[in-house]
Amino acid sequence: MSLPANTLLLLDTNVVIHLARDDENGKKIERQFGLTARPERPLISSISVGELLAMAYRRRWSDDKVAKLRTLVADLVQVSAGLGEVVENYARLQCEKLENGHPGEQNDLWIAATAKAAGAVLITFDKDFQWLDGKHITVNWIAQAR
């Protein structure tokens, strides 16, 4: 999916992990979306920030590595999951998920609710967002580089 320059992008946690690692997938994301050259900065949910820091602490990242992660996150626009519209979207998505047996974790719903509230395209590797695509949000999947 080609995205116009003025399209808001919300990066899923797994996307930011690859950007932080600057691995092959991170380079692919930058090539595909031109994140650093876009006129608008990409968004990140406060839920993703918590997930990223928890992962870094759990894996006992060095202070330098955590500082680099914080710098990367600081270059993104953080959207609080506590905003009223995000909370309302989360509640509605959670009900639909439970009523219809859709896959996904709670944090994924918060991230999707944030994308919906911001009117942003969600950039992810995670197929658990599939049931939301086109109905609640627009999702752009990235194939993992091998």
pLDDT at 139: 87
Q: What is the pLDDT of residue 52?
A: 98
Domains and CATH numbers, the chain: 9-141 (3.40.50.1010)
Q: How confident is the model at residue 146 (pLDDT cuts 50, 70, 90)?
A: low
**What pLDDT, in 10s, does the model give residues 94-106?**
999 999 999 889 9
In percent, the amount of the chain with pLDDT more than 90 equals 75
Q: Distances in Å between the alpha carbon of 83 and those of 41, 88, 107, 126?
A: 19, 9, 15, 24
pLDDT at 4: 79
Alpha helices in 22-133 (DSSP H): 24-33, 46-58, 63-74, 84-100, 106-118
Look at the pTM and tell me if it is higher than 0.85: yes
Residue 98 CB contacts under 8 Å (≥ 6 apart), including other chains: none
Half-sphere exposure of 46 (CA within 13 A, CB side): 7
* pLDDT tens digit sequence for 55-113: 999 999 999 999 999 999 999 999 999 999 999 999 999 999 999 999 889 999 999 99
Query: pLDDT-based confidence at 135, cuts 50/70/90?
Result: confident
